[in-house]
Structure 1
Amino acid sequence: MKLKALFATSSLVLACLGAPAAHAAGTLNVALHQDPGNWDPIATFLVSWGAVGSQVFDGLIIRTPDMKLVPGLATKWEFTDKNTKLRFTLRPNVKFHDGEPFDAEAVKFTFDRLLGEEGKKGPQQSNYTSIDKVVVVNPMTVDFILKSPDPVLLTKLAGYGAMIVPPKYIKEKGSQFFGMNPVGTGPFKFSEYKPKIALALERNPNYWGGAPKVDNLNYRFIAEPATQAAELQAGRIDVANQIPLSMVETLKKDSKLAVLSMDGPVALALRYNTQRGIMKDKEVRKALTMAVDRDAIIKTILLGNAKPIASFQGVLSFGNDPSMKPLPFNPAQAQAMLKKAGVKPGTSIQLDFRGPDSNFREVAQAVAGYLQAVGITVSLKPYETNVLLNDIIPNGKTGEMWQNQWGGWTFDYDNTAYAMYYTKQRWNPFDDDAKLNALLHTQRNTWDQAARKQTLHEIARYVADQALEMPLYSLNTVYGLNKRAKNLDLPADGRFRFVNATVE
């Protein structure tokens, strides 16, 4: 982007938000790579939603940046009746941003809505199907009646679909209005929203956990990592959630800036369309995986800001098997396997990916080069991110391969594997495997964590044997920061809560 256009864009955004052209004291400016387009907790699966939603809403439980589960809108919880009932004692004297009181009826309304017809319209309902119903015991106590075990339930109650919403407001305004004008109990309140451009939040002075230290929190939706980096360098944003990895060292040399890189939950793979052309043969799929030097991609393109993976999860994931090794890079063997499978040199396949993701665009180009070396011609097809995620993948319109990227925010392989591999799930448009379904069901329906870990290991090995995807890497969470922003408490999963943040 040319410098003149860049300044014009920045001025437009600030004008839309009603903010001054220069930094105001007490204002934190954050860049996000994507606008989820709907702020209803049951309508989302995107990390970019969590980066905002965790400011506006609270769950019964909060997960801290160091992965601890602590009281949120509930002050305590306990299992009763042989793990079939989960009782929550609620926090008193909490109000939603519009003044509506938070109580047991709000919790019941939230989960009745999530598990009912409204919830069916969004992607979150399947994460909470172990809950049969929520029963109001008294105004400050609720019981979750469980119809099956869910060993990840407490973590799930700390985010996304489980965020508590206001019954009266939604009944009066409707879900569509709520999605564009959300009301929660969180540390920041919605102020102004310009879809695909910017979003402004303001401090909630009555927040039960203590009022935030900044008055305003401004988000800008900037899809291109290079543009995020340019705005960071210009001092117009304080936190960038995506920057070109090629610019990390340059940003580090700027005395006003810092770069933070940490192990994160995001795994990337190339998923195979197992119903299309040469991809019907699992030996072909294995050959393509062996044709790509993933270690070289991590070293040369990602500059070490990632780790190799053998399954679709990172090192912090419960269920990760450190003894499991990726298929080796062996182009000669890959070529022999393709020849044995009858794949003719020059065979063409299509790779679909998120067009605005410049980091992955380089990875896709490298993959195409490696596959070209074993006789496979790859056509790269970029999509606008929301189109790829909301239409192309879930409706089974992909080419032979597509960019599969998952945040796995629970840091539990269940959250990833069930969504990716169970029959008719949103991210599994092609495969129907009874054995895999049974394994996924087994691990999800036990409280025995040791037994579950073994089953998760078995799932990962089975997926690898079937070669449902080409595991690429677990990506570090990388933030670009202006040093004037302090006490950011940045999480590995990208779900910001800037309660303690200050701006010098």
Structure 2
Amino acid sequence: MKTTKGIRAAFLSLAMASVAFIASPALAEGKLTVSSPQDPGSWDPVDTFLVQWAAVATNIFDGLTYRGPDLKLVPGLAESWEELDEGKRVRFKLRQGVKFHNGEDFNAEAVKFTFERLLGEEGSKGPQRSNYVAIDSIEIIDDYTVDMKLKSPDPVLLTKLAGYGAMIVPPKYIAEHGEEHFNTNPVGTGPFKFISYAPKVNIKLEANADYWDGAPKLSELEYRFIAEPSTAVAELQAGRVDLVLPPTIPIGMIDVIKNDSKLELVSVPGPTVDALRFNTRDGITKDPKVRQALTMAVDRQAIVDQILAGQASPIASFQGELSFGYDPELKPLPYDPEGAKKLLAEAGIEEGATVQIDVRGNDQTMNEVAQVIASYLQMVGITATIKPYETNVLLNDIIPQGKTGAMFQQKWGGWTFDYDNTAYSMYHSGEKWNPYDSDPELDKLLESQRPLTDRAERERILKEIAAYAADRALEMPLYNSNAIYGVNKRVKDFVPAPDNRTKFDKVSVE
């Protein structure tokens, strides 16, 4: 039998526990499962350019700036910034009280470490460094103020700081665990913390309750890597996946989603463009006349209308109309099979000549498009064979090493919505995505626009670059695709990002 004193103690203990329970913030509930078509293989921001990396990593890492689905640039880990010394330096005031997922403080040292790493030996191993070469150094003013000194002005710098290589990383964690460990065990300051990663299977994240922009509404976020589109859609229908990311859903399966009462199709114009680029070094596509002929042989508007169900628009250069540098006056080469035959004859190409088209094997839509393109080429006397590759093999080995056929698929996100980000990577000598071509005149144009702060002059040069590339027919421009998401209706407050970089901290599930 309890004494009065014991009863009072028990009551007091119960009351204190009740108070503690009331005072504690409600924990987020609900798991969102997302299907992504590609495992980037490394979660280190300096290692990749892949949109599917950013689709996941936007939820793990933060940049100094942030650009959301409305494409407006807002503060991220930097609360504010100002240009000094006539644009030769940018001063960032950093957000205080932010911690990395491992408990490490975010501060000026982390910013300095991030950019010295990106611009140093580690960054030189990956494709991101060239986007940030305008940065000369980072100077720490105090614990929460840094100056970014510039070698030259970069009009797109603040946008670049919102993604990819500029994501802020933890110095102590990387020093303690090493680069290889960080590749597969990422730590950032973002709304979700890393739990586990099974290559080519999934990556699991949990809510960061202490996130500086508020705790996520979800408790768990899992990305499953499902390369086969029909499998991804089947998992969505079965309820084992809540959301399918672009560019998974092939046009032929749009009606499958639209006709399912549990699902909805969400489509928004995006930055992604598709082209078949040419091997300008070897074979018949060395000749610009041949490249022009192959382009004129293909009815790209018919492909958009009939194969893509209108979920895209034809392009004249390797950018969409939302891109800074887009020229509405630049028209695609016309569909003109007779003109194509004439150019091929002038180039001395005999009927029956062959070309190989390299594509991503898991891109069902492009595989269908490539078959149609092969049929068009057959009508002008060119026999095309289609060679599918596993995506990572095509992107990391075949293209950069200059081992493609005459034509190869290039799908490019253009996530800055600025043509420089695309054109410099595609056309400048020595760049990873330009294994065949070296053109001093084009290099000069590309370099001349980067330091300009005069927006109108810079736009004029970007348009000139687009026209120059079109005149030389460096690729067969195909189309600018919509970003198509398949979503279970139990997902609430989902706002689709045109660039596929969706933060899920404000999303909930029923």
Report the TM range for the smaller structure's normalisation. over 0.9
Q: What secondary structure does 1:55 align onto?
A: coil
Residue 456 of structure 1: aligned partner = 462
- Gap runs ≥5 in structure 1: 1-23
Aligned to 1:236, which of 224, 236, 240?
240
The TM-score with structure 2 as length reference comes to: 0.94
For 1:174 and 1:107, how far apart are their aligned partners in 2?
18
Larger radius of gyration: 2
Map 1:139-218 to 2 at 5 A: 139-218=143-222
Do residues 73 (structure 1) and 59 (structure 2) align?
no
Q: What secondary structure does 1:318 align onto?
A: coil
Aligned to 1:350, which of 356, 363, 366?
356
CA contact (8 A) 1:259 1:480 kept: yes
Between the two proteins, the alignment pairs up a number of residues equal to: 481
1:378-414 deviations in Å (ceiling 9; x for gaps): 1111100000000100010011000011000001000
1:32-73 deviations in Å (ceiling 9; x for gaps): 000001000000100110011100000000001101111110
Residue 361 of structure 1: aligned partner = 367
Q: Which amino acid aligns with 1:73?
A: L
Aligned to 1:54, which of 52, 58, 69?
58
Aligned to 1:27, which of 25, 31, 36?
31
Residue 46 of structure 2: aligned partner = 42
Residue 257 of structure 1: aligned partner = 263
Do residues 224 (structure 1) and 228 (structure 2) align?
yes
CA contact (8 A) 2:29 2:217 kept: no
Residue 15 of structure 2: aligned partner = none
Deviation at 1:25, TM superposition (A): 5.4
For 1:30 and 1:126, how far apart are their aligned partners in 2?
31
Residue 447 of structure 2: aligned partner = 441
CA contact (8 A) 1:229 1:244 kept: no
Q: Which amino acid aligns with 1:361?
A: N
Map 1:290-369 to 2 at 5 A: 290-369=296-375
CA RMSD of aligned residues (A): 0.9
Q: Hey, which bits of structure 1, 4+ residues long, moved more than 4 A? A: none
Residue 482 of structure 1: aligned partner = 488
For 2:216 and 2:276, how far apart are their aligned partners in 1?
41
Deviation at 1:338, TM superposition (A): 0.7
For 2:249 and 2:314, how far apart are their aligned partners in 1?
21
For 2:196 and 2:168, how far apart are their aligned partners in 1?
21
1:443-481 deviations in Å (ceiling 9; x for gaps): 111111111100000000000000100000001100001
Residue 5 of structure 1: aligned partner = none
- Gap runs ≥5 in structure 2: 1-27
Q: Which amino acid aligns with 1:78?
A: E
For 2:184 and 2:227, how far apart are their aligned partners in 1?
20
Do residues 375 (structure 1) and 395 (structure 2) align?
no
The TM-score with structure 1 as length reference comes to: 0.95
For 1:175 and 1:491, how far apart are their aligned partners in 2?
30
For 2:48 and 2:288, how far apart are their aligned partners in 1?
33
Deviation at 1:261, TM superposition (A): 1.1
Q: Which amino acid aligns with 1:162?
A: A
Do residues 289 (structure 1) and 276 (structure 2) align?
no
For 1:142 and 1:425, how far apart are their aligned partners in 2?
30
For 2:102 and 2:408, how far apart are their aligned partners in 1?
43
Residue 135 of structure 1: aligned partner = 139
Residue 399 of structure 2: aligned partner = 393
For 1:488 and 1:169, how far apart are their aligned partners in 2?
33
Q: Which amino acid aligns with 2:292?
A: K
For 2:234 and 2:153, how far apart are their aligned partners in 1?
48
CA contact (8 A) 2:266 2:496 kept: no
For 1:46 and 1:271, how far apart are their aligned partners in 2?
18
Q: What secondary structure does 2:271 align onto?
A: coil
1:306-331 deviations in Å (ceiling 9; x for gaps): 00100000111011011111000011
For 1:179 and 1:25, how far apart are their aligned partners in 2?
29
Query: What percentage of residue pairs aligned between the two structures are identical?
Result: 60
Residue 111 of structure 1: aligned partner = 115
